[in-house]
Amino acid sequence: MRFSDIPGHGEVKRVLVQSVRRNHVAHAQLFRGAEGSAALALALAYATFLNCEARTPEAEDSCGNCPSCQKIDKLVHPDLNFILPVTSTKAVPKDATSSKFAAEWRSFVLDNPYQGLNDWMQHIGADNKQGSISKEESLQLLRLVSLKAFEAQFKLVVIWLPELMHPAAANAVLKLLEEPPPATVFLLVSYAPEQLLPTIVSRVQPVVVRALAEDELTAWLRDTHHVPEVKARQLAQLAEGNVGTALASLSSAAGATDHNYFDLFVAWMRTCYANKVADMLDKSDEFQKLGRENQKEFLQYGLGLLRKVLLFGLDPQLVPHLPTNEQGFIKGFSTYVTPRNAGPLTQELNEAHYHVERNANPRMVFVDASLRVAELLRQA
């Protein structure tokens, strides 16, 4: 994984690169972000950069070609260690520790490094069991760090989801952070840092990984994954900056995102505003044909767009970089969505989503929602 493989996060990447260039590598760092963020991807890119054998003093990324880069890329470098939440499974009925799931972890991360705990549990066949980092794991960890690095400059220990450490494991890690072994770098990747022991948090350097801006995610889907612009934008808005979600819907979308939700939403709002019941019925027939998954996705998309409209009305600066095709609609529609009716409008769309999810008749749901929206638009 190279920094250039990861969308956005220019500032975080710059800081990480600088720390290596200036020889200020903190021995313990906490990459904290929401599930689906680039926290793990960035930690891996950093690990690759740290141990790149071809790194020049001016380098801004790992070379990607040297033996170290190649091995880290395939997650087979002997000095790159992972501590992960695991549990007993059919394949590993007892004494589950991270090292027994190395092959699964490799395929999991290489497939998509933006996934979360549930995905991981499913991947190892843990059914509904909870994963954790056990106290046995901490014994292995202590043994591990007592060894010298095999071939790299730094021995790396990536702890994925340290919030799931058993208290005994947490204490062992704390001990290591207090008396760090030489030439060892701990990279903690957390999706719930507020659940970590304060004593651990105080000993790690934070690396805050924010959700991506819609623009950054759109550009990445377009340029790296060759998704057409309109669809990329739609996916990015639906994912709300969550790379994992965007990638998941990209690979699972059995046509699910082949509709132009923007055009549909604009047309729907025009129909509501015109307040002609016959047109509303026609529109509801159209929605009926979308199918349930798309109806839900459409409503989700509508909620996102509605939020932009409201923000724009409050202050256009709050929604910079609006795509050209959205600008006209958002500006015009912002006179009809104000703090007075935004709450009820949002609630209406949320309720429609709720009913569709619970198998209500979609046509009725949309007729109902249309009538309510029409009424609310008049209360701006």
User: Can you give the binding site for Zn ion, defined by CB under 5 A?
Assistant: 52, 54, 62-63, 66, 69
CB of 188 to Zn ion, least distance (A): 24
Measured from the CB atom, the residue of 4 and 118 that comes closer to Zn ion is: 4
With contact defined as beta carbons under 8 Å apart, do 110 and 74 qualify? Answer: yes
Residues contacting 136, CB < 8 A, separation 6+: 95, 97
- List phi, psi (to 5°) of 190: -120, 140
CB of 178 to Zn ion, least distance (A): 32
Measured from the CB atom, the residue of 16 and 86 that comes closer to Zn ion is: 16
Measured from the CB atom, the residue of 63 and 168 that comes closer to Zn ion is: 63
User: In angstroms, what CA-CA distances link 241 with 61, 127, 233, 314, 326?
Assistant: 24, 28, 11, 22, 18
CB of 49 to Zn ion, least distance (A): 8
With contact defined as beta carbons under 8 Å apart, do 90 and 125 qualify? Answer: yes
Measured from the CB atom, the residue of 58 and 194 that comes closer to Zn ion is: 58
Measured from the CB atom, the residue of 41 and 352 that comes closer to Zn ion is: 41
CB of 2 to Zn ion, least distance (A): 9
Measured from the CB atom, the residue of 1 and 96 that comes closer to Zn ion is: 1
CB of 45 to Zn ion, least distance (A): 12
CB of 48 to Zn ion, least distance (A): 7
- What is the maximal distance between C-alpha atoms in the chain? 76
Measured from the CB atom, the residue of 62 and 138 that comes closer to Zn ion is: 62
CB of 147 to Zn ion, least distance (A): 23
CA angle 269, 332, 211 (to 5 degrees): 80
Measured from the CB atom, the residue of 63 and 322 that comes closer to Zn ion is: 63
Tokens found for residue 14 = 């710059």
| CA pair distance 75, 102, nearest whole angstrom | 9
CB of 23 to Zn ion, least distance (A): 18
CB of 44 to Zn ion, least distance (A): 13
Measured from the CB atom, the residue of 62 and 257 that comes closer to Zn ion is: 62
